[in-house]
Amino acid sequence: MARDRNRTDKPGKGVTRRGFLGTVGAGAVAAVTGLPRPGEAVPEITEPKGMVETALSINGRMHRLLVEPRWTLLFVLREQMGITGTKIGCARGECGACTVLMDGSPRYACMTLALEAQGHEITTVEGLMDGEELGDVQQAFVEEDAFQCGYCTAGQVVAAQGLLAANPSPTVDEIRAGMAGNLCRCGAYVHIFRAVERAAKGRGKGGGR
C-alpha cells in the first residue's frame, strides 16, 4: 500500500505515532522514578508528629524527656541522653551492636521505639558496671581477649549478660545459639564463647551477679 506523501499529523486528528510514543515514555519514567503522571495529584508530605513526654528507666534511674514517636531507643540513648556505650551498627536489627536489656532480656535498640521502652527497665553496657569496677561478664571478656576492634563488644557483653540471666549454666551449643544474634566482623567468636563460659563458671562458684 503506497504511503500518502501528503499526509500530515495535525492536532485534533487522533493519536499520532510520535504522540503515542511520548505518552508511553512519560508513563514509563513515572513508573520507574515514582513521579506523578501528568494530571495526577501530588501526594502530600507527611510531617512528623509533635514531641511526646515520656519517662524511661535507664540503668536504674528514671529519666523524663520529650521524644518524637518515630525516634528509636538507640537514637534517644545516644543523641538525647549521651549514653554512648550502645553502638550504632546496621540500624536494621541484624548485627546486634546496639543490644540492650529490656527487663533482663536482650533487645535491639535500633528496632525498638523509645516509647515502647516506657514502663520497662532498660540496661545498657554502662549499667553492668559496679561503680568503676567491671561486671563479671565484662571482666571475662577482658581475660579471654574476646574482642579485636571492640566495636561490637558492648552488644556482645549485654547479650551474654541476658543469656546467663536466663540460663546460668549454658552448654557450648547453647552459648553459640544465645549469641547468634550478635555479629563480630573481626571473627573473635572462639574467644567470645570462652568469655561467656568463664563468666558462667564464675557465677557457679558464687561470683558475679
The percentage of the chain sitting over the pLDDT mark of 70, rounded to a whole number, equals 75
d(CA 42, CA 48) in angstroms, rounded, equals 19
> What confidence score (pLDDT) does residue 168 get?
97
Q: Looking at the structure, do residues 147 and 207 belong to the same domain, yes or no?
A: yes
Residue 167 lies in a domain: yes
Structural domain that includes position 176: 129-209
Number of folded domains in the chain? Answer: 2
Residue 27 lies in a domain: no
Q: What is the average per-residue pLDDT within 44-68?
A: 88
pLDDT digits (tens, 9 = 90+) for 10-52: 555 565 655 545 554 555 444 444 555 666 666 665 565 689 9
pLDDT digits (tens, 9 = 90+) for 97-126: 999 999 999 999 999 999 999 999 999 999
Domain edge (last residue) among 120, 138, 157: 120
Domain CATH for 191? 1.10.150.120
Q: What is the average per-residue pLDDT within 129-157?
A: 97
Residue 203 lies in a domain: yes
Q: Looking at the structure, do residues 114 and 178 belong to the same domain, yes or no?
A: no
pTM of the model: 0.75
Residue 97 lies in a domain: yes
d(CA 113, CA 116) in angstroms, rounded, equals 5
Asked if pLDDT for residue 161 goes beyond 80, the answer is yes
Asked if pLDDT for residue 71 goes beyond 90, the answer is yes
Q: Looking at the structure, do residues 110 and 156 belong to the same domain, yes or no?
A: no
Q: Is 34 exposed, middle or buried (0-12, 13-18, 19+ CB in 10 A)?
A: exposed
Residue 53 lies in a domain: yes
Asked if pLDDT for residue 139 goes beyond 70, the answer is yes
d(CA 173, CA 194) in angstroms, rounded, equals 12
Asked if pLDDT for residue 76 goes beyond 70, the answer is yes
